[in-house]
Homo-oligomer: A and B are copies of this chain.
Amino acid sequence: MLVVMRQNANQKDIAAVVAAIEARGLKAHPIPGAQRTAIGITGNKGAVEAAAFESLPGVLEVIPVSHAYKLVSREVKSESSVVRIGPVEVGGPRFVVVAGPCAVESLEQALTIAKAVKAAGAHLLRGGAFKPRTSPYSFQGLGEAGLKILAQAREATGLPVVTEAVDLESLELVEQYADAIQIGARNMQNFTLLRRAGRSRKPVLLKRGMSATLEEFLMSAEYILSEGNYNVVLCERGVRTFSDFSRNTLDLAVVPAVKRISHLPILVDPSHGTGRREKVAPLSRAAAAVGADGLMVEVHHDPDRALSDGPQSITPPMFEALIHDLGLIVPVIGRTL
């Protein structure tokens, strides 16, 4: 933390700030400049709240310097983490493709799609059994029945299953049936759910909240790691901005930003990120090119009749074409498909 003094702050003001810092058992480092003095603070173990200083006389502003994340940071673990979902390694040399329907609707639908994405080259199967929906009157998912269907689809295709848990109850079930637990954007700061996921033995796929800063996104991952579960995969799925031609604004720059400061792998979800079928393939290619560790994409064999998010689902032939394109792009960033 750095306390910046006003130009007209006098020696008494500065001494008072130094005293306030030392009263908290911290160390003050005054830096006298030509125009003003700044005072560095060291000795704190976590973040020091700025409150104590910013209302003292002569203080212009207080600038936080240290970040609160620890376990997720590359400073703590410099090599990139590889997270195993079933036998599939996320964050390793392979660019991982998670595909499947937005929501599980029936055994037949799930099997049809699972087989199609498997045939095209997907590595993991996605599909929602518990759907967080804006409206209480929308289809909310099949619940445990949906999980059973996903398990059958895994048996039929060999694809490990990633599916969302929306509360403690559904998390217990997801843990039981699936290979990875997804925490959705709306629950990114559901800290009770994060802690519980942190006590699970299953890997966790954590989606970025709609207006989460990078710091908040990493702190939510930190919640999971701090409970002992180090198998966390991040996922960018678009943020909310004024930009109105897509459902969300896919913030691809978060990928190199995460890579720089964290060791955790990160996927991109262009389906929620754009909300529009015709933008899914272009943004999927962009996600591969930007250096993401993989992709999470919604596929539906009959999207116009899908019970949820049809407009952002691509069809199996579109998915096949996409996989073909990805196969050409990922070697550029030193990966295989």
Contacts and interface: CB of A to CB of B under 8 A. Distances in A.
Contacts of A273: 253
Contact of A190 (B8, B40, B137, B187): B187
A290 B329 CA distance: 11
Given A43-B34, A240-B211, A52 B310 contact: yes
B50 A40 contact: no
Nearest to A273: B253
A224 to B, nearest CB: 9
Given A52-B305, A189-B132, A285-B289, A253 B253 contact: no
Kindly name the residue among A43, A132, A243 whose own CB sees the greatest number of chain B CB atoms within 10 A.
A243
Nearest to A210: B211
A291 B242 CA distance: 23
Chain A interface, DSSP helix/strand/loop, else mixed? mixed
A249 B241 contact: yes
Copies in the complex: 4
A255 B282 contact: yes
A253 B257 contact: no
A172 interface: no
16 contacts: A32-B42, A133-B191, A134-B215, A135-B222, A136-B219, A186-B190, A187-B190, A211-B211, A240-B242, A241-B241, A241-B249, A245-B253, A249-B249, A250-B252, A253-B279, A282-B289
Interface of A: 2, 4, 6-8, 27, 29, 31-35, 38, 40, 42-43, 45-47, 49-52, 54-55, 60, 63, 65-66, 68, 70, 75, 78, 132-138, 166-169, 186-187, 189-193, 195, 210-211, 213-216, 219, 222-223, 226, 239-246, 249-257, 260, 273-274, 277-279, 282-283, 285-291, 303-306, 310-311, 325, 328-329, 331-333
